[in-house]
Structure 1
Amino acid sequence: MDSQALLLSIAFLITALVYAAVGQAGASGYIAIMGLAGVGPLAMKTTALSLNLLVAVIGTALFLRAGRLSWRNVWPFAILGFPFSMLGGALHLPEGVYFPLVGVVLILAAFQMARTALSGKKN
């Protein structure tokens, strides 16, 4: 394994742990890491989707086993999430559009998270 692959793996693991600690799967973190590493759009989408699904399945299984989640609450997200994830993964944008768009979305997500954190509201 080359050094870049090792660093990406460690960064993905840390991102997965941090996001999972707050009940998220980490897709935006994986995309940000790969964007900084210069990974191409097709590999970014495939890798982020795969890692996101893996972490989400593990988290969902743990929550279900602990009795913190019921299938009654999960099934609408599971049914709607799959086709829209596939649709997003099938969408091919040129790199000149993809990278700026991902950058804008990540910046907006950061502002929203900061706004929520600074407002002191508990969800």
Structure 2
Amino acid sequence: MKHQLEKLPSWLMLAIGLLLVAGLGVLDYLTGDYSLLIFYAIPVALEAWFLGRAGTAAISLASGLARLTSDYLSYTGSRFSYWNSLQDTAFLLMMGLFIAWVRQLLREEGPAPEQRHKER
């Protein structure tokens, strides 16, 4: 049985992920110095699961750009905002690629042995 999100076109899934990142970017700006990095992991994980590596790369870069923009607009005096945003982007990209890899392995493996036995 396919999940409802798997039935959506890939462009729509990417648009949903970008909208989530944009909303998080605004919220990140409004909260100021508090890091919302863990919340950026939600759209990255969704894109990684349903779109694979390409979706992961796109949404991770968008998340890094949103973090950089919100940090820059919040406080421009920090010399480390570029470095911090690069680290955040790398973390989200690695996490997303790991999730996409796990999803690929699960697809290649096929149904669980219990389910194969029930189908007979």
TM class by smaller structure: 0.3 to 0.5
Instruction: Give the TM-score normalised by structure 1.
Output: 0.46
Q: Which has the larger radius of gyration?
A: 2
Q: Which structure is richer in relative contact order (CA contacts within 8 A, separation 6 or more)? A: 2
